[in-house]
Chain A
Amino acid sequence: MTARLRAANANPEKYLMNPPRFLYVATLALLPLLPFSLRAAQDWVRYNAVPNSSKVRVDGTSTIHDWSVESTALGGYVEFDPAFDLNKPALGKVSAHCDVRIFVRQLKSGKTDMDNVMYDSMKEKDHRRIDYRLSEMTLKEAPRSPDAPFLFDTKGELVVAGVTNKIQMPVSLFRIGADKLKFTGSTSVKMTSFGITPPTKLAVFSTGDDVKLTFEWLTAKKEQK
């Protein structure tokens, strides 16, 4: 450890108030690049999740009857490379970022006791959120009519109960008005692939391993400030 670093560790406040000279030099050297990086961030077209307008549904089976849980609280954002023009879409890979999040406690079946069993099985106390991160998006079909959707193939990572799995699913994108996008899709996953033991109650019921996720996610263009 250098003497300067030792001094910085001993008195971080003083170090921050009197930073070493090389930091000035480095900052000055990087300044000209700043407009480009800001520009690049600004140019990505960002859409944020709209509250109370989305729905995710998880359908499953059990030995007594099928079950489902729902939530309307789907948060997150999607942003597209400015090169992707919704008015003149080109088939193929689309540069996009997308993060979706759902708090496990907001998934409800309408039966409190069963919800509590579900939260416990999903280790909610340690892993409060379900996250989805998009890694690849390919436009397969552009809309053939004004009301028709854009059809994509997507690859992404789904994080449930602290376990990350790669998933692929077809996603439809609908344009709603001038500044809103609605994404819909569904995929099937296994509870055990996320380390979740399908809930059972001895001699009463046991749930099936396969569940189907279906979603409708509304986003609105972020206002430019």
Chain B
Amino acid sequence: MNKNETAELNRRDFIGSFATLMTMLGGVELMTHAPVQAADLETLVPFQIKCGVIGLGNWGREIIATLSRLKTAQLVAVCDTYSASLKRAANSAPNAKGVEDYRKILDDKEVQAVIIATPTHQHRDIAVSALHAGKHVYCEAPLANTLEDAKVIALAARAARKQVFQAGLQTRSDPQRRFLLDFIRAGASGKAVKAHAQWHKKQSWRMTSPNPDRERELNWRLNKATSLGLVGEIGIHQIDAMSWFLSARPASVTGFGSVMHWKDGRDVPDTVEAIFEYPGGAHLNYECTLANSFDADYEMLYGSDAAIMMRGNKAWMFKEVDSPLLGWEVYARKDQFYKETGIALIANATKLANLTEKATEEAAYTTKPLYFALETFLTNVNTVSPAVEDFSATFDASDKAALEKYVSEIKLLPAATCQEGFEATVLAIKANEAVVARNKVALPKEWFELA
């Protein structure tokens, strides 16, 4: 015990005994009321959105795990057509009602928002019905496996002005990526000359089940008729992010794809490459394989002054010797990559925890893109829903145009819109077409327009 503590205790004892003495002498102890505690940002649960998750495969379970960490989410219903998946999900979402028919979730007035994580080719009916039922919708990317379905979903989302629709392009709401976007657009890496992205993993992508029908259903990604392959199902996120950073939409894509390792009768290539040409001459070289895991997944943007590498929620800048001095990089944290020195690019770099985090450390759940994407979705739902309700109670509820104008002027947190989801889906579909046919596919701008 140090001196100060002794003094403090003595002072308290003295005050305490003085008050007791005064009370005993017949005096009234004058106490000030404890001040009302103002809201605490850390513990405040400002709102809870009642959610349902439809589709409980691997990714659906990941979504449930993430929602359970979000204090603004209240998972009230889960849905899967396969009872075993439903049972498995019930363990991580004990308070949620389990249903096999998604329409039961849509009929449930209590459910405000749904997150659709079914196989891609099943999105259309669920997403459109959910929007018609007045639900806010988070639909995984790609939105669909055909242009027609993608357009139907995006148009339904655009028409639902009083609801939030978010495409599952998670990086669009990731604060680290948004920080990089500003940094890149400010010209810190010079003129963008090319880009590279990859996803390497040694895994078959095949799932097993004792039930042959179920096995066929489970392995929808290995079936050409239902899958957009590696470039569409996985690559969509990285290709969308790079187009976003390059501030451009590619004019064409050339694809290559083969079954190199997993020769188990599949017709979906296990190793693919796609080269996207952007107006102005820059290329994005995207490659993806299930046959080798070396160097895992990352994205690179090469500029005339520096290259920027993005890995998960981390990023580094590799400067050219003739690039201008920015100043701050002298003091920034640096990591060594073989013979190259990477200058760490960290959002909120003033937070000590961010600086001491090791380069190779896995992102915690609360710093993963899915966490930010779902957090953004729930916050936006909590902005739009009360706006509609309050506006209708304030003005003439029959004035639809005024209501839509009010909602359209609300500032929402940045997230992938139906237009961005549609554009990324078109890219994914066309890139897969190029990979399957091993040819070049032009991407006229009309394809990206919603009628």
Contact = CB atoms under 8 A, between A and B. Distances in A.
A103 B36 contact: no
B40 interface: yes
B38 A197 contact: yes
B401 to A, nearest CB: 9
> Interface SS of chain A: helix, strand, loop or mixed?
mixed
B235 to A, nearest CB: 32
Q: Interface size bucket, A side?
A: 20 to 34
B39 A116 contact: yes
Contacts of A198: 38
A103 B394 contact: yes
Contacts of A120: 38-39, 44, 46
Given A110-B411, A116-B39, 13 more contacts: A51-B399, A73-B394, A103-B390, A103-B394, A106-B391, A112-B383, A113-B41, A116-B41, A116-B44, A116-B46, A119-B46, A120-B39, A197-B37
Nearest to B45: A116
Bin chain B's interface residue count. Answer: 20 to 34
B349 interface: no
A119 B382 CA distance: 13
Contact of B402 (A52, A74, A121, A199): A52
A112 B379 contact: yes
A197 B406 contact: no
Contacts of A74: 394
Interface string B23-51: 00000000000011111110010110000
A112 B413 contact: yes
A121 B47 CA distance: 14
29 contacts: A49-B394, A51-B395, A51-B403, A51-B405, A51-B406, A52-B402, A52-B406, A52-B409, A73-B387, A73-B390, A73-B406, A75-B394, A75-B395, A101-B394, A106-B391, A112-B413, A113-B41, A116-B39, A116-B44, A116-B46, A116-B47, A117-B39, A117-B41, A117-B44, A120-B38, A120-B39, A120-B44, A197-B36, A201-B41
A187 B361 CA distance: 53
A108 B41 CA distance: 16
A106 B403 CA distance: 13
Contacts of A116: 39, 41, 44, 46-47
A105 interface: yes
Contacts of B405: 51-52
